[in-house]
Structure 1
Amino acid sequence: MATLVRLTSICRRGVKPLLFRNSLLVRPVVAQKKEPDSILSAQIHSTAPQYEVGSGSKAASRHWTGERALSVVLLGLLPAAYLYPGPVVDYSLAATLTLHGHWGLGQVVTDYVHGDMKVKVANTSLLLLSAVTFAGLCYFNYHDVGICKAVAMLWNI
């Protein structure tokens, strides 16, 4: 019935008046109940659910908080690397950049890699890549000029 009313309004007045009126919000003249009231009241459960929302582990929340804290530390380390270059800042940058990259790529693996074996291989590869990255940055800091001075040398070119 409501469909007929809407079709006749389109045919008589055109589309433009129909879109700017409240005629689309009109309920049909004859509305039928899909289910009797007794069935609706039977669907309401008075028992508590077996699981509570938010009552589980706080690991995801703590991980998110750790990621945000690491991002804030990185924001502080970048000016510190410019103002006070040295071994402490170099090794701090090596650790925070590696951890930041590890967590970021871990989210990519979580979102885009599917299948049990593929996920295990991807996570193992990511862990290996992160370990090699951290070891390489520490090696560079110990045996060469360090991250801060290397970036300063790149800016001087």
Structure 2
Amino acid sequence: MDHGKLWSYEKMVTLGLLGMMPLHVMFPNILFDVVMSVLMVMHSHWGIEAVVIDYVRPVIFGDTIPKIAIWMVYGFSIVFLVGLFNLIFNSTGLGNSIRMMWSV
């Protein structure tokens, strides 16, 4: 895998998050919420995956535990995305939820 390209994609996602954060709170709608959710999940997935790959090494833990840890990262990312989509489509939405937290 070309890690240089992945690093570039990670930086683009981070810049996208910086641009989308104020937009989806100022102008809450489903499109901004979905884009923000996908960007958040991608960003957190790559970060947690990097930690697991760096610290749950086969040399220390054997071959099975690192594979289980990576699959747990994928499971966490899927549950995170499904939960955010549930908030968007079955509740007030992500942007409106943040606005409601700030109003408290």
Normalising by structure 2, we get a TM-score of 0.92
Partner of 2:46: 103
Indicate yes or no: 2:65 matched with 1:118: yes
Distance 1:131 1:81 in 2: 22
Count, aligned residues: 100
Q: Runs of 5+ in structure 2 lacking a partner?
A: none
Partner of 1:78: 21
Please tell me the residue identity of whatever aligns with 2:98.
Answer: V
Higher relative CO (CA 8 A, sep ≥ 6), structure 1 or 2?
A: 2
Three-state SS of the structure 2 residue aligned to 1:85 is: coil
Q: 1:89 deviation in Å? A: 0.7
Q: Within 5 A, what are the aligned runs for 1:8-157?
A: 59-115=2-58, 116-157=63-104
Normalising by structure 1, we get a TM-score of 0.62
Distance 1:82 1:129 in 2: 25
Q: 1:83 deviation in Å? A: 2.2
Distance 2:34 2:48 in 1: 21
Three-state SS of the structure 1 residue aligned to 2:54 is: helix
Query: Computing the radius of gyration over CA atoms, which structure comes out larger, 1 or 2?
Result: 1
Q: After the TM superposition, which segments of 4 or more aligned residues of structure 1 sit over 3 Å from their partners?
A: none
Distance 2:35 2:95 in 1: 11
Q: 1:79 deviation in Å? A: 1.4
Distance 1:66 1:114 in 2: 25
Q: Runs of 5+ in structure 1 lacking a partner?
A: 1-56
**1:45-85 deviations in Å (ceiling 9; x for gaps):** xxxxxxxxxxxx6x101100000000000000011112211
